[in-house]
Amino acid sequence: MKHIAVFVSGGGTNLAALIEAEKSGLLKSGTIRCVISSREDAYALTRAQENGIRTYVVRKKDFASQGEQDAHMISILESEQIDLIVLAGYMSILSEEFTRTYQNRIINVHPALIPSFCGDGYYGLRVHQAALDYGVRLTGATVHFVNEVTDGGAIILQKAVEIKEGDTPEILQRRVMEEAEWKLLPQACELFCADRLEVSGRKVTIKE
């Protein structure tokens, strides 16, 4: 059984999807061991606590340097014997050193079909506004490994979502969550925890 740490900053809807997946048995090869938040007021902490999951708050302003913050987070992860880190609406940037330490062990869900509408500055509603402004017919979500380039890691899973007449960024955000993010993230976690992902450079192969 693999141990999972979920990094959060806000409401924790993707965390809720992972908790439900574990309860339902969709996520059966891994367990959510702890939740680490960059903000003490994140509702995701409440979601975790209500489900008996240990929580930690690690705020950037509490450390003199990025290196000190990294060392603190690594000490938590090591004490919890973490195998997989999941970024679920985590709004802090991880350092190159941190991502290298956990190479191919950090995954993120991005609310677009990478390589579209991704990279620096593309987060939250900005992603959906960009898709609407560009006039694309399809958007979606991508689960990918995290490296030192924002949204630049190898792609694990993607799912397309239709853009409809009259969509606002908020409406589109909700549809992408419901139809793609909340489905893909638990699937990707189970694939990782079941040792079914093989990474070779930029390519991820799903083993039978």
| Residue positions annotated with a catalytic role | 110
Using the CB atoms, write b or e for 149-184: b if 16+ within 10 Å. ebbebbbbbbbebebeeebebeebbebbbebbbbbb
Rounded distance between C-alpha atoms, residue 127 and residue 169, angstroms: 8
Identify whether the C-beta of residue 192 lies closer than 8 Å to the C-beta of residue 107. Answer: yes
Q: What are phi and psi of 112, to 5 degrees?
A: -160, 170
Rounded distance between C-alpha atoms, residue 99 and residue 101, angstroms: 5
Identify the bridge partners of residue 86 per DSSP, sorted by sequence position.
6, 107
Pairing type for strands 155-162 and 203-206 reads unpaired
